[in-house]
């Protein structure tokens, strides 16, 4: 039997059409669980934010979010894991200051570049850094603290060498000329018993840590590195009010995915994050923890990129003037 050319073309077209109809369409994102990688142990600020924001984003995305703690190397191990993961939106870094900015100035080898290897989704919140003293130290303001330090050096504790609060302390020294000796601890929580007891005379730490003790009169917060006073401690000045110009400093948490993640996936995640941050659940818990929700522009990739570039330059200058060296 002879088959005409027209019959062949018609048959081929029908076969192709059938194949197109049976080929499974690409599933809409997300169609399975999402992983939040926290580059620190459970229980810290980044972990707490991850679980709160994850709950809110789960409601928006309709898929569960699993928090996975991958501590080590000051957060660099977890950050590199995400940077090298499949860029599909299913693996997200919960990124604090350390792995995103600070580590590149104190670690000789970091296996990623923040602005090259990641695409930010958005920033969540910022806990202002606070200068806090033991009540026995005879100062009630930043100006009095600086003046006293110039007559005799004051030891100031932070949550560790190269930590976010250490960088803030170095910036404070450069801005004010305070004569202080840095005393690194394992964490902000670890230094508080010594501050209460008086064996540590001062600390630069996250505002949320000494806040209950300040309210009870067990320690004294002199100022915070925020744009405005906190409603949780309206008696405490900002650093700017206290005479330290343009001084904003805090511990933040950003959400980031690998740089090659499709833009529509990033947009979907960003929208879910923004709605989660506006939810009553997150707002109420952030308020209790002393976390300031960021402005809408910082909930966007573009806003976070500008924010991180600025923080990189601030920390670069702090590392330079303090003599910090990678090791």
User: Does residue 275 fall inside a structural domain?
Assistant: yes
Q: Identify whether residues 110 and 257 lie together within a single domain.
A: yes
Going from the C-alpha of 43 to that of each of 9, 73, 199, the distances in angstroms are 66, 17, 26
Average pLDDT over residues 211-223: 95
User: Does residue 107 fall inside a structural domain?
Assistant: yes
The better pLDDT of the pair 110, 6 is held by: 110
> CA 118 to CA 231: how far, in whole Å?
34
Q: Identify whether residues 174 and 214 lie together within a single domain.
A: yes
> CA 278 to CA 180: how far, in whole Å?
40
Q: Identify whether residues 75 and 122 lie together within a single domain.
A: yes
> CA 35 to CA 54: how far, in whole Å?
9
> CA 214 to CA 221: how far, in whole Å?
6
Residue 14 clears pLDDT 60, i.e. is over it:
no
* Mean pLDDT lowest among 164-173, 185-194, 202-211: 185-194
At 325 the pLDDT is: 87
Residue 231 clears pLDDT 50, i.e. is over it:
yes
Tell me the pLDDT tens digit for each residue of 114-161.
999 999 999 999 999 999 999 999 999 999 999 999 999 999 999 989
Q: Identify whether residues 223 and 304 lie together within a single domain.
A: no
> CA 299 to CA 291: how far, in whole Å?
15
- DSSP assignment of 267-317 equals HHHHHHHHHHHTSHHHHHHHHHHTPEEPPGGGGSHHHHHHHHHHHHHHHHH
Return the CATH number at 134: 3.40.190.10
Maximum Cα interatomic distance, the chain, rounded to a whole number of Å: 109
Residue 9 clears pLDDT 50, i.e. is over it:
no
The dihedral sign for the CA sequence 75, 80, 81, 85:
positive
Q: Identify whether residues 140 and 165 lie together within a single domain.
A: yes
User: Does residue 8 fall inside a structural domain?
Assistant: no
Residue 214 clears pLDDT 90, i.e. is over it:
yes
At 143 the pLDDT is: 98
Q: Identify whether residues 215 and 230 lie together within a single domain.
A: yes
**Nearest Cα to 51, choosing from 124, 104, 137?**
124
At 18 the pLDDT is: 47
With a pLDDT cut of 70, the percent of the chain lying above it is 92
Residues 72 and 78: beta-carbon distance below 8 Å: yes
Q: Identify whether residues 144 and 225 lie together within a single domain.
A: yes
Number of domains composing the chain: 2
Return the CATH number at 309: 3.40.190.150
**Nearest Cα to 171, choosing from 327, 316, 326, 325?**
316
CB atoms within 10 A of CB 316: 14
Domain with 64 in it? 34-126+251-322
**Confidence band, pLDDT 50/70/90 cuts, at residue 26:** low
Q: Identify whether residues 132 and 233 lie together within a single domain.
A: yes
Residues 6+ apart with CB under 8 A from 17: none
Average pLDDT over residues 264-291: 95
User: Does residue 25 fall inside a structural domain?
Assistant: no
pTM of the prediction? 0.86
Rg from Cα positions in the chain:
25
**Nearest Cα to 96, choosing from 54, 53, 138, 47?**
47
Tell me the pLDDT tens digit for each residue of 170-202.
999 999 999 999 999 988 888 999 999 999 999
User: Does residue 22 fall inside a structural domain?
Assistant: no
How confident is the prediction for the chain on average, in pLDDT?
Answer: 91
- DSSP assignment of 7-64 equals HHHHHHHHHHHHHHHHSPPPPPSPSS-EEEEESS-TTSHHHHHHHHHHHHHHHHHSS-
Q: Identify whether residues 142 and 225 lie together within a single domain.
A: yes
Omega of the bond prior to 30 within 30 degrees of 0, cis?
A: yes
User: Does residue 279 fall inside a structural domain?
Assistant: yes
Q: Identify whether residues 54 and 150 lie together within a single domain.
A: no
From 174, 207, 238, the end of a domain falls on 238
**Confidence band, pLDDT 50/70/90 cuts, at residue 25:** low
Q: Identify whether residues 137 and 234 lie together within a single domain.
A: yes
User: Does residue 12 fall inside a structural domain?
Assistant: no
At 32 the pLDDT is: 97
User: Does residue 21 fall inside a structural domain?
Assistant: no
From 238, 259, 279, the end of a domain falls on 238
From 183, 203, 238, the end of a domain falls on 238
Average pLDDT over residues 34-61: 94
Q: Identify whether residues 41 and 185 lie together within a single domain.
A: no
Residue 212 clears pLDDT 70, i.e. is over it:
yes
Residue 162 clears pLDDT 70, i.e. is over it:
yes
Residue 20 clears pLDDT 90, i.e. is over it:
no
């Amino acid at each position: 039997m002879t088959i005409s050319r027209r019959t062949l073309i018609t048959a081929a077209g029908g076969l192709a059409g059938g194949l197109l109809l049976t080929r499974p369409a690409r599933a809409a994102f997300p169609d399975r669980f999402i992983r939040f990688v926290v580059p620190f142990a459970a229980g810290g600020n980044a972990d707490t934010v991850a679980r709160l924001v994850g709950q809110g984003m789960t409601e928006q995305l309709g898929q569960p979010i699993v928090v996975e703690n991958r501590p080590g190397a000051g957060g660099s191990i977890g950050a590199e894991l995400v940077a090298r993961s499949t860029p599909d939106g299913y693996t997200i870094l919960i990124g604090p200051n350390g792995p995103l900015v600070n580590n590149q100035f104190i670690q000789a080898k970091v296996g990623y570049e923040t602005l090259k290897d990641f695409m930010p989704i958005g920033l969540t919140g910022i806990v202002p850094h606070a200068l806090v003293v033991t009540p026995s130290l005879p100062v009630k303001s930043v100006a009095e603290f600086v003046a006293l330090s110039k007559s005799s050096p004051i030891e100031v504790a932070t949550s560790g060498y190269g930590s976010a609060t250490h960088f803030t302390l170095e910036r404070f020294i450069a801005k004010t000329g305070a004569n202080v000796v840095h005393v690194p601890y394992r964490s902000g929580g670890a230094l508080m018993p010594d501050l209460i007891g008086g064996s540590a005379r001062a600390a630069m730490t996250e505002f949320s840590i000494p806040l209950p003790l300040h309210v009870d009169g067990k320690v004294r917060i002199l100022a915070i590195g925020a744009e405005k006073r906190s409603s949780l401690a309206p008696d405490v000045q900002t650093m700017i009010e206290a005479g330290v110009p343009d001084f904003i400093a805090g511990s933040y948490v950003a959400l980031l995915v690998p740089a090659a993640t499709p833009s529509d996936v990033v947009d979907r995640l960003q929208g879910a994050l923004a709605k989660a941050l506006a939810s009553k659940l997150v707002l109420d818990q952030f308020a209790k923890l002393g976390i300031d929700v960021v402005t809408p522009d910082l909930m966007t990739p573009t806003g976070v990129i500008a924010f991180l570039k600025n923080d990189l330059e601030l920390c670069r200058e702090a590392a330079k003037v303090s003599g910090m060296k990678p090791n």
